[in-house]
Amino acid sequence: MSSQIQTSLSAQELFQAAYERRYTWDREFPGFTAAVTLVQGEHTTHAQVQVTPDLEVVVTESSQEDGEKAIFEQLREVVIHRVRRSFSDVHGKNSFTFGDRLGDGTVEILVDGAAAGDRYRVRDNIITMVHRHIHGMVVTIHTLTYEVTPLGYLPVLYESTYSNPSTGTTQSEKTIHQDHYIQVGGYYILSDRSLRYTDSTQPYSHLLLSHVRLYS
C-alpha cells in the first residue's frame, strides 16, 4: 500500500484493512489430526494431537507429561490466531488514532476505548507489531518476516516479550519464533515451529507436526 493511500485512510480504516488481511480458517474448517514431536533441550516428547472442528486442542498418547502441556500450549496459541472473528466483534468498542510514522512506511496505530493503551504498527497492509495488555501483562510482538498466501498473510519469523504494564520492566527474555506451514486440503496448517530464547537458561524448542490429515 502506497504512502499516499495510507495518508488518505483513517487510522481505523488502515488498521482494519490489515486486520482483515490476516490468514484465518473459515467456518467450514473441519479440524485435523497429526503426529507431534516436541524437542526441548535434551528431552523429546511424542504425541498425537487433534484440533477438532470447534477448534479444541486434544493431546493424547504423550510420552511425557511436561511435554504434553507444552504441546497443548503451543497448538492452542496457533488455533487462537487462526480463529476468524470480525473486526467489529474484536474492536467494536475501540477507537483508533495515528501515532508515529517511520521512515520505512510503517504507521503506528494507537488504541483508545475498551483496549486503551494497546497499539499496533502497520506496513504494506500487514500488522507488523502488536502491543497488547493481556491478563495483567503486556505482550509485544514484532513480526520480522511473513508469508503472503492467496488467502491472507501468516507471520513466519517474529519475536515476543512480556513486560509489567505499570513499570514497563521486562518480565521475560525475548522469545524468537520461526514457523513453517503446509497446505492441506486448501487450509494452511503449522508444520513446525522453533523457539529460541535470549535467556540461555531456556532450552531451544522445536515442535514438528507430521501425518497431518483433515477430518473427513
CA distance 58 to 75: 9
| pLDDT, tens only, 115-158 | 999 999 999 999 999 999 987 889 999 999 999 999 999 999 99
CB atoms within 10 A of CB 138: 19
pLDDT at residue 3 above 70?
A: no
Q: What is the pTM of this model?
A: 0.89
Cell for 74? 503451543
Non-local CB neighbours of 191 within 8 Å, separated by 6+ positions: 180, 181, 182, 208, 209, 210, 212
* 8 Å CB contact between 71 and 55: no
Bigger pLDDT: 111 vs 201: 111
Bigger pLDDT: 141 vs 216: 141
Q: Of 89, 96, 88, 91, which Cα lies nearest the Cα of 112? A: 96
pLDDT at residue 1 above 50?
A: no
Give the pLDDT of residue 6: 53
| pLDDT, tens only, 99-109 | 999 999 999 99
Dihedral of the alpha carbons of 124, 128, 131, 134, in degrees to the nearest 10: 110
Give the pLDDT of residue 2: 45
| pLDDT, tens only, 9-64 | 899 999 999 999 999 999 999 999 999 999 998 899 999 999 999 999 999 999 98
